[in-house]
Amino acid sequence: MANNTPALDQTRVRVLISADEVAKRVRELAEQISADYAGRTPLVVGILKGSWIFLADLVRQLTVPVYIDFLTVSSYGASTKSSGIVKIVMDLKCPLEGRDVLVVEDILDSGLTLRYIMRHLELRKPKSLKLCVLMDKPARRQVEIKPDYLGFTVPDKFVVGYGADFAEAFRNLPYIGYIEVPGK
């Protein structure tokens, strides 16, 4: 049986943001979010698969109680850029009406997928709806969308690590790096 997965050659990855810098920024975001949600219990919605590492580290440092749920969407398929067509693969289990909702995502790129998600969730009448992204790549933006909480602004490179992947590889890297993708 042939294995069609890419070689996990980590020597291809160039460090963009070190593991220490990522950990420091996640702590700072957790402090800010905890202060903003003091006295409330937000529902934290992770967008799978990219957000899970960031989300896990973030929520463990929050000082407010939280509920957690996940939404899986697809807009990339096997490509390295978004098709702009968003498909909900796995929807939330928790109701949103009247709740404070914080969406957590690894990267804000074209904005197409996150704009769709935020509009989709807004229809469920949450009390508040905010967006937290680890990375923002404004050079790729196609629609107007701004995160309420931002980890890092990154250059127009194909980023991997700390949840972000290339063909499902490199998610487990403790830092944010980039690779050169042929044809990109």
Q: Which residues form the catalytic set?
A: 109
CA distance 119 to 60: 28
CA distance 158 to 184: 9
Rounded to 5°, the CA angle 52-54-57 comes to: 105
Task: Report in angstroms the alpha-carbon separations of 51 from 2, 73, 108, 161, 168.
Answer: 30, 12, 11, 11, 13
Tell me the sheet residues that pair with 14.
178
**CB atoms near residue 145 (< 10 Å):** 20
CA distance 125 to 30: 25
Measured over the CA atoms of residue 147, residue 49, residue 112 and residue 122, the dihedral's sign is negative
CA distance 184 to 180: 8
